[in-house]
């Protein structure tokens, strides 16, 4: 306290000047009142940071700031803060709890399990914590089992599947799907999904298997030119928000022979209509294979799908085989798209090595490694984020890294690019242009998980290769909450 007075940082004085009550109390109240708005969560985080500056010996300040990091999906920063809180107070149950959920979000399940066991040890009567520990134990056992039996390439989920012998139920009232995709089938599928109906399981299998074959035969980085009289729309994360996806099409036009679309990953998870989005995007790919493009995101991976809802949704709406077939199709997706030799579109961002070029991306054999893992070129393309500082920094997510404006400039200059276009992060305005215009983030899930209050955005590009940013608001959807099919572990925070 003496040091604080000498520095003019007396908490009472700061309380009178800057906020009502102590910084920690104000930030906590602000956070509780603001879970529906990212900007207010960021403000709460700022107050916790001020509280730490005033008194860095208080574990509760770090533990509470860790919670704001979790809500902002900065899981790497949350782990760091929770760890500091535990160092200051080894009995801080909330800090162990928050580090557990952050480790789980980073797919570090064994570390998460250690913390959950500590929570149960310190709070033996907490039934909710015990249930979550048991669920985490199941995940760890399952992952260990899958690793133990892994011997070369596993058999496809399509093995033994005879589509010709599958019968569509006689009471199915939708349009029939033949050997080729039709606009009539897509229009009917959209209507069915809007009305809470499903398509026949046979058609699900047909769409996923055919799309997988198309993706597999595409290069790791498709290269697209925009001819006169045509245009392309680039969309970011849609995260299972099916009705907001339809809003994009209603506002901007549906895919056609003259209107190409590129969806830049994270079609699934979190939102509760992920199967509907994936099937619709795959159907459009089959209808316009040379004019409709999908990049893989970090949520088109098994680990994320098991935690954030897509696996559970597939099982609830169809069956386990559906998820496995989708998983195989995700592994076949391209990792980037080059538009007009000017814009590299990839989900996450740039690399830990300055020497990486577009040729390295072209040569990357994505079929040899189904899942991105914790390191390597594929992981970086799916997970990295920009930062304002030059150089590179540790990832706020706990996976990958962050890259500064100098990294982006050098990469663009070396490869003759105007800019990179990426997604992967919520932007309150729907998009953000940073790094001196060379890094554009576009996010297409407005009011993300029904709580964030952000806009959605998409980018239109014509034959002149000028970028036209478009912003839109979320639209109403049926009363099904986000994360309805997610692992119960995600409710820990």
Residue with tokens 């407005």: 446
Give the neighbor-by-neighbor strand order of the sheet with 456-461: 292-295, 259-264, 231-235, 456-461, 467-472
Burial degree of 447 (CB within 10 A; 0-12, 13-18, 19+): buried
For residues 400 and 384, the answer to whether their CB atoms sit within 8 Å is: yes
For residues 323 and 314, the answer to whether their CB atoms sit within 8 Å is: yes
Question: Can you tell me the distance from the alpha carbon of 254 to that of 357, in angstroms, rounded to the nearest whole number?
Answer: 34
Question: Can you tell me the distance from the alpha carbon of 229 to that of 190, in angstroms, rounded to the nearest whole number?
Answer: 27
Q: Could you tell me the CA-to-CA distances from 256 to 231, 283, 345 in Å, in that order? A: 10, 12, 21
Of 14, 11, 19, 73, which is closest to residue 41 (Cα–Cα)?
73
Question: Can you tell me the distance from the alpha carbon of 448 to that of 271, in angstroms, rounded to the nearest whole number?
Answer: 8
Cα angle for residues 339, 340, 342 (degrees, 5° grid): 80
For residues 9 and 36, the answer to whether their CB atoms sit within 8 Å is: no
Q: Is 299 an active-site residue?
A: yes
Would you tell me how many other CB atoms lie within 10 Å of the CB of residue 23?
A: 23
Between 320-332 and 310-317, two packed helices, what is the crossing angle to 10 degrees? Answer: 130
Total residues belonging to the chain: 493
Question: Can you tell me the distance from the alpha carbon of 45 to that of 68, in angstroms, rounded to the nearest whole number?
Answer: 6
DSSP state of 483: T
Query: Which residues, listed in sequence order, are joined to residue 433 by a DSSP beta bridge?
Result: 440
Of 239, 299, 347, 424, the catalytic one is 299
Of 425, 387, 424, 429, which is closest to residue 406 (Cα–Cα)?
387
Query: Which residues, listed in sequence order, are joined to residue 439 by a DSSP beta bridge?
Result: 420, 434
DSSP string, 405-424: HHHHHHHHHHHT-SEEEE-S
DSSP string, 318-337: S-HHHHHHHHHHHHHS-SEE
Catalytic residues: 299
């Amino acid at each position: 306290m003496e040091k604080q007075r000498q520095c003019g940082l007396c908490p009472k004085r700061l309380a009178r000047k800057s906020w009502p009550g102590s910084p920690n109390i104000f930030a906590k109240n602000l956070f509780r009142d603001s879970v529906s708005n990212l900007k207010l969560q960021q403000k709460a985080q700022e107050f916790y940071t001020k509280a730490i500056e005033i008194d860095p010996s208080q574990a509760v300040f770090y533990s509470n700031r860790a919670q704001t990091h979790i809500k902002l999906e900065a899981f790497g920063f949350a782990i760091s803060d929770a760890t500091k809180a535990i160092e200051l107070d080894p009995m801080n149950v909330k800090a162990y709890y928050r580090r557990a959920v952050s480790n789980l979000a980073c797919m570090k399940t064994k570390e998460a399990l250690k913390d959950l066991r500590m929570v149960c040890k310190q709070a033996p009567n907490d039934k909710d914590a015990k249930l979550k520990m048991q669920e985490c134990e199941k995940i760890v056992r399952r992952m260990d089992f899958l690793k133990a039996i892994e011997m070369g390439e596993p058999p496809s989920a399509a093995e033994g599947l005879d589509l010709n012998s599958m019968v569509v139920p006689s009471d199915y009232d939708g349009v029939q799907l033949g050997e080729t995709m039709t606009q009539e089938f897509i229009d009917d599928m959209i209507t069915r999904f809007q009305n809470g109906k499903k398509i026949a399981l046979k058609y699900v299998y047909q769409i996923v298997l055919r799309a997988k074959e198309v993706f597999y035969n595409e290069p790791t980085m498709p290269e697209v030119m925009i001819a006169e009289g045509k245009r392309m729309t680039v969309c970011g994360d849609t995260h299972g928000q099916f009705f907001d996806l339809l809003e994009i099409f209603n506002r901007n036009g549906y895919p056609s022979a003259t209107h190409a679309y590129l969806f830049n990953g994270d079609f699934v998870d979190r939102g509760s209509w992920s199967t509907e989005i994936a099937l619709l995007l795959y159907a459009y790919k089959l209808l316009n294979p040379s004019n409709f493009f999908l990049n893989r995101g970090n949520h088109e991976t098994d680990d994320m799908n098991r935690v954030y809802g897509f696996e559970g949704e597939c099982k609830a709406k169809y069956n386990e085989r559906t998820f496995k077939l989708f998983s195989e199709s995700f592994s076949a997706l391209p990792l980037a798209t080059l538009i007009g030799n000017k814009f590299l579109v990839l989900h996450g961002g740039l690399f830990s090595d300055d020497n990486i070029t577009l040729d390295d991306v072209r040569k990357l054999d994505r079929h040899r490694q189904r899942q991105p893992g914790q390191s390597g070129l594929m992981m970086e393309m799916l997970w990295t984020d920009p930062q304002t500082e030059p150089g590179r920094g540790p990832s706020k997510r706990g996976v990958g890294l962050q890259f500064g404006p100098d990294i982006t400039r050098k990469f663009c200059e070396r490869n003759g690019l105007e800019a990179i276009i990426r997604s992967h992060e919520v932007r309150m305005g729907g998009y953000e242009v940073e790094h001196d215009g060379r890094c554009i983030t576009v996010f297409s899930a407005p009011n993300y998980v029904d709580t964030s209050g952000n806009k959605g955005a998409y980018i239109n590009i014509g034959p002149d290769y000028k970028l036209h940013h478009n912003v839109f608001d979320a639209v109403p959807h049926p009363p099904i909450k986000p994360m309805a099919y997610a692992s119960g572990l995600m409710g820990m925070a």
